[in-house]
């Protein structure tokens, strides 16, 4: 399941590598950044990315390249409707949001 954000000449794509299972304490995303006009070497995803859920809980990245999000508590609760990877401050964009819906609204 891939999500993409294209803004200010930078494309960020994240592919969810983990199963979305209630009770999961780790999620893995393969994140790529691509551009033809911005130097991306200065951006460290581990410091810029967080996981945010529909209840507003946030979790810091624990690894980059393949972006890992780990927690001692469950990352996915039974009432979680979506999760988002939020990447801040890349190419003058305050916040890029890549969202995965966990269940149909109803």
Nearest residue to 29 (alpha-carbon basis) of 56, 58, 62? 62
pLDDT at residue 4, as a whole number:
96
Task: Please give the class, per CATH, of domain 2-101.
Answer: mainly beta
pLDDT at residue 90, as a whole number:
94
Q: Both tokens of residue 82?
A: 């979506």
pLDDT at residue 38, as a whole number:
80
> The tokens 């624990």 sit on which residue?
62
pLDDT at residue 105, as a whole number:
45
Domain spans in the chain, listed from the N-terminal domain onward: 2-101
The continuous run of DSSP H or E covering 48 comes out as helix 45-48
How many Cα atoms are found within 13 Å in the side-chain-facing hemisphere of 50? 10
Consecutive 10-residue averages of pLDDT for the chain (106 residues): 92 93 92 87 90 94 85 90 95 95 65
Rg for the chain, CA atoms, rounded: 14
């Amino acid at each position: 399941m891939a999500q993409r954000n294209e803004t200010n000449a930078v494309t960020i794509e994240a592919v969810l590598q983990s199963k979305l299972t209630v009770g999961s304490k780790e999620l893995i995303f393969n994140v790529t950044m691509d551009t033809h006009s911005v130097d991306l070497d200065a951006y460290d995803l581990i410091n810029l990315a967080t996981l945010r859920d529909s209840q507003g809980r946030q979790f810091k990245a624990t690894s980059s390249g393949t972006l890992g999000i780990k927690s001692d508590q469950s990352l996915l609760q039974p009432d979680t409707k979506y999760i988002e990877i939020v990447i801040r401050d890349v190419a003058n964009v305050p916040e890029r949001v890549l969202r995965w819906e966990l269940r149909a609204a109803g």
